[in-house]
Amino acid sequence: MSPASILILVGCYFGVLVLISYFTGKEDSNAAFFKANKSAPWYLVAFGMIGASLSGVTFISVPGAVEAKQFGYMQVVFGYFFGYLIIAYVLLPLYYRLNLTSIYTYLKERFGNVSYKTGSIAFLISRTVGAAFRLFLVAKVLQLLVFDLFDVPFAITVIITISLIWLYTFRGGIKTIIFTDTLQTLFMLVSVVVTIVFLASALDLNSISAVVDNAMGSNLSKTFFFENGNDPQYFWKSFMSGIFITITMTGLDQDMMQKNLTCKNLRDAQKNMVSFSIVLIFVNVLFMVLGLMLTQYAELNGITAKKDDLFPTIAMLPQIGVVTSAFFLLGLIAAAYSSADSALTSLTTSFCIDIVEIDNKEELERKRIRKQVHIGFSIALILVILLFDIIFKDVSVIWELFKAAGYTYGPLLGLFAFGLLTKWQIKDRWVWIIAILAPIISYILNFYSKKLFNGYEIGFEILIINGLLMFVGLLLIKHSSKPKIATK
């Protein structure tokens, strides 16, 4: 595809999103922006959450990692499933019983104001970093395919990227996102299927059974790793990490929970979560098969691209064809923006509710503050992405994303676990110190793990370690009075 064709495609795509925003954002109220008036159909939420949970990072990095890590990522995905069940039947009942807009309000009622602010700040940092990672990857691809050819600086690419998100979310917020995420998930899945169909033809795999046999017969399709406990891909490390990654990055994350809280009632929210968790397993299998076939195609045709460069490089080859290239671009943009737009909305929600506490202000001032915060986080994302461009040059972004999440979400995991699993109160004023120390100690343990633990290399389970350190720290500042609210 020519750069001009790509720009026209992107322009038409965002034209559709803006059109959706126009119809869904007519009610410019905080209730619609934050909770979609609690009227979203559960099946739309479930389908849209597929794209939001996968993002452009999964779209690019998971297929690109198959050559080095085989199908080992599926061990984490199986852990995800059980994590989603915990969210559906432990966390969602709590959130709906308390009728929360921001899930971190629970920490205020359970422990006190310092814990509340600490939890919300941990989320704001976590989600800003996560959203920036995702958008960084997509902006780099757009820069390579389009903007470099016009000598447009990367900073301008990033500004355009974030500005487009702001444009279609600034009025409708989560109400708009419920519908745009549904469309974007559809584009992403169609893109994957179209690419697999092309690769199957190129590799002389002329039926679904041939594609399945090809995957099962390849040494790259090894999924379970039980041999070496020190291996970062060891099954139990990956599986347990998947459970806790899901609990923290979905169940304790305002971004993902805000979508669930738009459902009409708890039962609908639980149907959304369970159905979504099942479908997500099959979607990730598709990504594994795609990664295998991309690797085989690259080897067959002497293509040297690796990791995050593999899928974009092959998808934009002339012999791939315009249709496949167009669907790749649509899938990539859809996957990235379906997570980034909701991240911008949830960051705005959390900051307004948890930090500014706009519920205590007049209606007109609430709306003004919300719009200012929305712009502020748009600018913050631009700055963080540009910082990542300086720091990260040759990485597989999904693994860096999970590493970062292990440090930033750990304090949230420890706080919520302590609140739900114990009846103790804590000395609230000390919580923020523990929330800083736990990630620092976790980083030190990770850095020296091979020396300290006889060759053991810490992987995604850094999140569990971080959360456990936070939990132990809270034990040290506990006292025995009953909690302010019931935890069951």
303's CB contacts (< 8 A; 6+ apart) are 297, 310, 313, 314
Q: Cα-atom radius of gyration of the chain, to the nearest Å?
A: 22
What token pair was written down for 472? 């132990």
pLDDT tens-digit map of 40-60 = 777 777 777 777 777 666 777
Quick: pLDDT tens for 432-445: 999 999 999 998 99
Does 64 or 133 have the greater pLDDT score?
64
Residue pair 245/463 in contact (Cβ under 8 Å)? The answer is yes
Token pair 């852990």: residue:
79
The Cα 151–Cα 143 span in angstroms is: 9
Q: Are strands 425-426 and 478-479 parallel, antiparallel or unpaired?
A: antiparallel
174 or 87, greater pLDDT = 87
**In the prediction, which pLDDT does 228 show?**
84
Q: How confident is the model at residue 393 (pLDDT cuts 50, 70, 90)?
A: low
Residues 65/307, Cβ–Cβ less than 8 Å: yes
The mean pLDDT value for 93-113 works out to 90
Mean pLDDT across the stretch 90-97?
92
pLDDT tens sequence across 155-165 = 998 898 888 88
Please count the CA atoms within 13 angstroms of the CA of 395 that sit on its side-chain side: 19
Instruction: Report the share of the chain in percent with pLDDT over 90.
Output: 32
Is residue 221 within 8 Å of 292, Cβ to Cβ? Answer: yes
How many other CB atoms are there within 10 angstroms of residue 301's CB atom? 11
pLDDT in the model for residue 100: 83
pLDDT bracket for residue 231 (50, 70, 90): confident
Estimate to the nearest angstrom the gap between the alpha carbon of 184 and the chain centroid.
15
CA distance 375 to 369: 10
65: confidence class by pLDDT, cuts 50, 70, 90: confident
Exposure string over 9-35, b if 16+ CB within 10 A, otherwise e? bbeebbeebeebbeebbeeebbebbbb
pLDDT on residue 455:
78
Helix axis angle, 235-246 to 462-476, nearest 10°:
60
Nearest C-alpha neighbor of 242 from the set 86, 394, 28: 86
Say whether pLDDT at 31 is over 80.
Answer: no
Residue 2 pLDDT exceeds 80: no
**Average pLDDT along the chain:** 83
User: What is the SS3 string spanning the chain?
Assistant: CCHHHHHHHHHHHHHHHHHHHHHHCCCCCHHHHHHHHHCECHHHHHHHHHHHHHHHHHHHHHHHHHHHHCCCHHHHHHHHHHHHHHHHHHHHHHHHHHCCCCCCHHHHHHCCHHHHHHHHHHHHHHHHHHHHHHHHHHHHHHHHHCHHHHCCCHHHHHHHHHHHHHHHHCCCCHHHHHHHHHHHHHHHHHHHHHHHHHHHHHCCCCCHHHHHHHHHHCHHHCCCCCCCCCCCCCHHHHHHHHHHHHHHHHHCCHHHHHHHCCECCHHHHHHHHHHHHHHHHHHHHHHHHHHHHHHHHHHHCCCCCCHHHHHHHHHCCHHHCHHHHHHHHHHHHHHHHHHHHHHHHHHHHHHHHHHHCHHHCCHHHHHHHHHHHHHHHHHHHHHHHHHHHHHCCCCCHHHHHHHHHHHHCHHHHHHHHHHHHCCCEECHHHHHHHHHHHHHHHHHHHHCHHHHCCCCCCCCCHHHHHHHHHHHHHHHCEECCCCCCCCC
- What are residue 425's DSSP bridge partners? 479
- What band does 9 get if pLDDT is binned at 50, 70 and 90? confident
Region of 442 please: left (phi>0), alpha (psi -120 to 50) or beta.
alpha
pLDDT in tens, 304-323: 888 777 888 888 788 888 88
- Here the tokens at position 352 are 């307004």
Contact 99, 385 (CB under 8 A): no
116 has a pLDDT exceeding 90: yes
Give the model's confidence band at 380: pLDDT under 50 very low, under 70 low, under 90 confident, else very high.
very high
Q: Answer whether 385's CB lies under 8 Å from 77's CB.
A: no
The model scores a pTM over 0.85: no
Asked if the model's pLDDT at residue 336 lies above 90, the reply is no
- The position carrying tokens 């860096």 is 400
Is the Cβ–Cβ distance between 126 and 405 less than 8 Å? yes
pLDDT of residue 55: 65
Confidence of residue 255 (pLDDT cuts 50, 70, 90): confident
